Amino acid sequence: VQPVVSLPQRKTRMYEVFARLRANAGAYIPAARYLELAQKESLVSAIDNLLLLRCLQILRDRRDDVADMPYVLNITSATLADTGFMNDLVMFLAEYRRLASRLVFEMPLADVENASDSLIAVLDGLSQL
């Protein structure tokens, strides 16, 4: 979780959530270095799902002065296409509406423009929450 700040005050405006792999104590591999292999091995959706679940845990547990800050995370077309997971997400956020307004997905416009009808329905459900 990385704060995004406005300058020159350095005031936190939101948080960006991103995945990186722990190589060993204190050393991490950024997504740019493992993404191609993850795509080849069909692991991107699993990584997205874990990242989103962790983000939801953080949002649920956060109780301090920045508890209302938005959290932005990139979501891939592989995750968007997982209608079972996305429908579960809508149901979860319907139960925890406080979290829904703080979760912001970053995705390519082409993924939205080429979305199936079932995905459009899920995105509509998310936007209403």
At 113-123, the pLDDT tens digits run: 888 888 888 88
Strand, helix or coil at 106? strand
CA dihedral (54, 56, 61, 65) positive or negative: positive
pLDDT tens column, 47-96: 888 888 888 888 888 766 566 789 999 888 778 878 788 888 888 888 88
Q: Mean pLDDT over residues 85-109, rounded?
A: 87
* % of the chain with per-residue pLDDT over 70: 96
Q: What integer pLDDT is reported at residue 67 of this predicted model?
A: 61
Listed residue (52, 97, 55, 60) closest to 76, CA to CA? 52
Q: Are 95 and 56 in contact (CB under 8 A)?
A: no
Q: Scanning the structure block, which residue is given the tokens 């979305």? A: 115
